[in-house]
Structure 1
Amino acid sequence: MLDNSLDVPGTARIYQEQGEDVQNAVTLIPTPSSDPTDPLNWSKGRKYLMLSCVMLYTITATILSSDLYSVFDPLSASTGLSLDQLNVGTGYLYLFIGLSTLISQPCSLAFGKKPTYLISAFGAALVNIWTAFAKGNGQWIASRLLLGFFISPSFTLVEVSIADVFFLHERSFPMGLYIVVLFMGVSLGPILSGYIYEGIGWKAIVWLSTGLSAIVGIVLFFLLEETSYQREHITTNVVVPAHHTSLGIDESDVSQSETDDKGKDIPPAQSRFAGVQAFAVSDTTAPLTPTPWPGPRFWTFAKPHRHAFGIILRGLVQPFLLLRLPLIWWSGLMYATYQICFNLIAAISSGILATDPYNFSTSQVGLSFISPFLSAIPGAVLGGWIADKFALRQAHLNHGIAEAEHKLKLYLIPSILTPIGLLMMGLGPYYGAHWIVYVLGCAIVNLVGPLATILTVTYAFDTYHSIRPQDENGVQASAQDTAPYLLTTIMLAMLFTFGFNYVITPWCFGWGLRNFAISSALIITAINATVLLILKWGKALRRSQEAYYRRVINW
């Protein structure tokens, strides 16, 4: 098959093809440079140490956002805030998560990802203290807004950090690990807080989560490495056997070629970002031995980017310009749908289980979150692994060419299971069924939610991450590294989530659980059906919208 179709963003050759045969070798995308400090050249252990750090940060941030869910009923009695006001405050938290990424994300590239993580962890700890002293609805909303501002990197920056160190064909698994802690943290907070409340009161929940965030900030200070790196984006192919997932390979296993747009050889080149050398791969350079972790280097921080102001300016403007792209609207809708599904569990569990016919205590309501907590693990970990394997299989069947839509075929799983889970969550309590029906419904929803989120985020990355501006040494290239497409996706998702929190209480408890169950199942079935449209016309949309996306990032 000719490669004349590979000029569409999101379409890439993963396997090499010779005649009618597809070779069992994987092309490394992006191409690793010859610089040992290049994060793509890190050893697998070093990469997963970085991943462990950002996952620890993520689970802490999500605990801060959810630790009061299981005590909403007693919290309402203690503070005088209604259940509806508490849920709306949560909506404001997600609203500010979406808007604040427009600041935190470009700042992470302008001044370094590690400082951004540190400010997030310590800032969230300080703001969380206010929660214990907030009086009235105004202060409750203000505390949620500021908390959303500081934890916003947990929703966008981690994905970019993963893309910094992992290749295209191996990102779904670490992305799955990230998604699992994203969902587990939101479940873990209510589990712990139920017991803490019954033992020492709801304010102790705030103090303990504050201390956890501060401790994680200290861990990040010592162990987290900076992953920001600017490489020459030239047309280079590094091909490795399919069973290799890192650069731990022999020189004999690799075939390389490097050309410019006119087919001429390109000599080694170098550029500078944050004081670190970045080298392009030459056609005579053998892959380096993966560089191991050098040990704690907490005194090493990135220097401010020379285009810092331009990066921040574009980070504030470009996400709004990208609202013209239908695929980004679709990605935002799908991300929001499964974020809302978990918010739904968190928002209604106390109101359902603490009243007739179940009459759970606060700790028992907290224990009910064990179900979605555990189900998120196979949903995300296995989901990411399956997505990677499935994408490679699809590419093999497609003459070695991977399409961004290939993984979306796996949406069949959440499309079937999510409506079933929602029906169990609504109809079970309505008909007075055993509480296990409701709890298993929550488990089903949270089982497929991480998989759907992985598919959505990787689709956005596969489509837009490889598109580069004309000037690779200018501010435009640096601004593209902030993943403006992801900022727009998350901004839209959190705006949808914010709006939904206004209707959760009246929809579920005002309209009735039976009507809620049937309507929610029908709505999510209709939303999931839009995947069929993307499978059919997604590539055409990627092709037709590429010119506009390039105009935006070349600004």
Structure 2
Amino acid sequence: MASKPDIDHVETVEVGSETPTPAGTARLLDDGEVRLIPIPTRDPCDPLNLPMWHKITIHLTVSFFSMTGILLVSGMGAVLPLIAASYPDVKNTADLNVYPTLFMGIGNLIAMPLSLAIGRRPVYLFSSLLLVIGSIWCAFAPDFNSHLAGRDFLSLGAGQSEGLCVMIVQEMFYLHQRGRALAWFSGITTVGSTALMIASTFICTAWGWRWWYGVFGILNGVVLIFSVLFVVETKYERSPEALRGEIPSFSRSDGLKGKDNDLTRVTTRHLPTLDDVNYSPRSFISDLKPWQGHSEWSAALICYKHMVQIALFPHILWLILCCGAFLGVYVLYASVFSGILTSVPYNFSFEVVGAVMAGQIIVCFVFIPVIGYGTDHLTKYLSKRNGGIVEAEYRLLPLIIPWLVTIASCVIFGRAAADPFHWHWAAVVITYNSEYIGFMSIVLSSFTYAIEAHPTRVGPSVVVLCAMRGFISWGLSWGSLRFVQSQGYEGAFNICAIVLGILGVVGIPIYFFGKKLRIITQRWT
């Protein structure tokens, strides 16, 4: 199956002197019907035309890949004290939990532009293979340095759990479905990784931490097999008009011309008829090819150019800083909470510490319906009040409550950790899991907002958000860990709360002037 070149290289053309409608502003509702954005084509190989069972299968497969990747990179917090006992002469064993976030960012910088050049499938399959090899490496690592190197190596592949997987998911679903699709992706990833984190403590205490890598190396191998069989290429060319929900000016090449199609209405009730005559039908054998044989190497270089451009957009730069701050705070939590709970006066066992993460499962049961479906319904509601017009900034409103909860959690956690004899263990457990609400919310909202605000720059947007938040979070968590050692928990987490508070205040003008910023920056997208 041949996939088409990436949309990042299709230029928009302004007609006349009128200012075009900015990306991120589109008509979502039409006479009570939900319009399909982007507009699907008549090509059977268009990922938007995949049957729902296949979309769900791909969604679940990449979610499991993300689940194991995040577990291996960020899920070591619960078992870190046990692993640290194997290296009594190493002072900074927390580096096993901190440096992998840096290499996740590096992996994104390499893999995402490459996926624009040769396609999503080969990069995704290679990343899945890296997880398997990296797990085996760590399981047989003879010393600490080899162990750390193995974790950095597998993190290069795990980085796609936050970048490439998100792009694959969003390329299969329409605008009005993205909130719930990405929420389910985050929810499955979190519930699965949390459940496996709980199991990790039992695996490590019963079989040793090397079998922790062994078990999940086997699981990664199973995911790799499913990926080869079902995760098809989702790279597909779409015109800027189609991405905005408008009928493309070159509809013939977009596969929209046909005697049975009403090109003026493409909604959930009026779908284009698939064309097996002018397009090659999709086949299982063709889909099995690791690479479809098409490459556009200049796309990788252009992606880096677009990454620099979009990273300088004020509203995207704000999201980058927010994502990095929230992830950095979460990594800091994950690096210290188990040590606090296993020490006096709490004296939790390693098994109980793993069970503490079960709170994140509860978070997901709230997160999926409220943040996922809630944002989709809120977007439709606000669009209806706005005459059927949707604005990308609607995706930012659900961040208010999680943001406030995260700030309060930082303050309480810092005080409880600094003075555990006067604070109940619940202050540590609840705030640790509460911060995860904010982290998941900002990740989901940043992706959906960036995708809808600049639909022709999905690849650069995703890689910038993922890679830069990895770098920022690494610097924040690395510096904070050393600051905790010298200044104490309360000072470090108060600084985290202040940073998040400042970013939250900056978000107010971003929301109200976001559309104007999109209009100003449209000339570069």
TM-score bin (small chain): 0.7 to 0.9
Deviation at 1:543, TM superposition (A): 1.6
The correspondence for 1:34, drawn from 23, 42, 45, is 42
Secondary structure of the residue aligned to 2:45 is coil
Decide which structure has greater strand share.
1
Q: CA offsets, 1:324-357, max 9 Å, x none?
A: 3222211111222222232123111121011111
AA paired with 2:138? Answer: T
The number of equivalent residue pairs is 493
Matched, 1:11 2:11: no
Change (3 A) 1:62 1:81: farther
Distance 2:242 2:83 in 1: 58
The correspondence for 1:330, drawn from 318, 329, 351, is 318
- The two structures have a TM-score, normalised by structure 1, of 0.81
Matched, 1:269 2:276: no
Change (3 A) 1:341 1:293: farther
- The two structures have a TM-score, normalised by structure 2, of 0.86
Distance 2:503 2:259 in 1: 47
The correspondence for 1:174, drawn from 154, 160, 181, is 181
The correspondence for 2:115, drawn from 80, 83, 108, is 108
Q: CA offsets, 1:474-521, max 9 Å, x none?
A: xxxxxx56x112212222211101102212323345422333444433
The correspondence for 2:132, drawn from 125, 146, 153, is 125
1:213-224 equivalent positions in 2, closer than 5 A: 213-224=220-231
Distance 1:269 1:290 in 2: 13
Deviation at 1:236, TM superposition (A): 9.1
AA paired with 2:414? Answer: G
Secondary structure of the residue aligned to 1:360 is coil
Matched, 1:53 2:43: no
Q: Which residue of 2 aligns with 1:385?
A: 373
Distance 1:46 1:360 in 2: 44
AA paired with 1:15? Answer: L
Q: Which residue of 1 aligns with 2:513?
A: 537
AA paired with 2:508? Answer: L
Distance 1:159 1:116 in 2: 14
Distance 2:501 2:175 in 1: 30
Q: Which residue of 2 aligns with 1:474?
A: none
Distance 1:457 1:40 in 2: 19
Deviation at 1:382, TM superposition (A): 3.1
AA paired with 1:501? Answer: S
Distance 1:490 1:258 in 2: 32
Q: CA offsets, 1:228-280, max 9 Å, x none?
A: 22245546997xxxxxxxxxxxxxxxxxx8463xxxxx6x523xxxxxxx623
Matched, 1:62 2:70: yes
1:155-170 equivalent positions in 2, closer than 5 A: 155-170=162-177
Deviates more, 1:184-193 or 1:453-462: 184-193
Secondary structure of the residue aligned to 1:409 is helix
1:385-424 equivalent positions in 2, closer than 5 A: 385-424=373-412
Secondary structure of the residue aligned to 2:171 is helix
AA paired with 1:94? Answer: T
Which runs of 5 or more structure 1 residues have no equivalent in the other structure? 17-22, 239-256, 261-265, 271-277, 468-479, 551-555
Which runs of 5 or more structure 2 residues have no equivalent in the other structure? 1-17, 263-270, 276-280
Secondary structure of the residue aligned to 1:12 is strand
Q: Which residue of 2 aligns with 1:457?
A: 447
AA paired with 2:64? Answer: L
Deviation at 1:386, TM superposition (A): 0.5
Secondary structure of the residue aligned to 2:331 is helix
Q: Please tell me whether the aligned partners of residues 320 and 468 of structure 2 are also in contact (alpha carbons under 8 angstroms).
A: yes
Deviates more, 1:365-374 or 1:352-361: 365-374
Secondary structure of the residue aligned to 2:478 is coil
1:228-267 equivalent positions in 2, closer than 5 A: 228-234=235-241, 258=247, 260=249
Deviates more, 1:87-96 or 1:214-223: 87-96
Q: Which residue of 2 aligns with 1:353?
A: 341
Q: Which residue of 2 aligns with 1:20?
A: none
Q: Please tell me whether the aligned partners of residues 304 and 460 of structure 2 are also in contact (alpha carbons under 8 angstroms).
A: no
AA paired with 1:453? Answer: V
AA paired with 2:327? Answer: Q
Secondary structure of the residue aligned to 1:502 is helix
Deviation at 1:207, TM superposition (A): 1.0
AA paired with 1:452? Answer: I
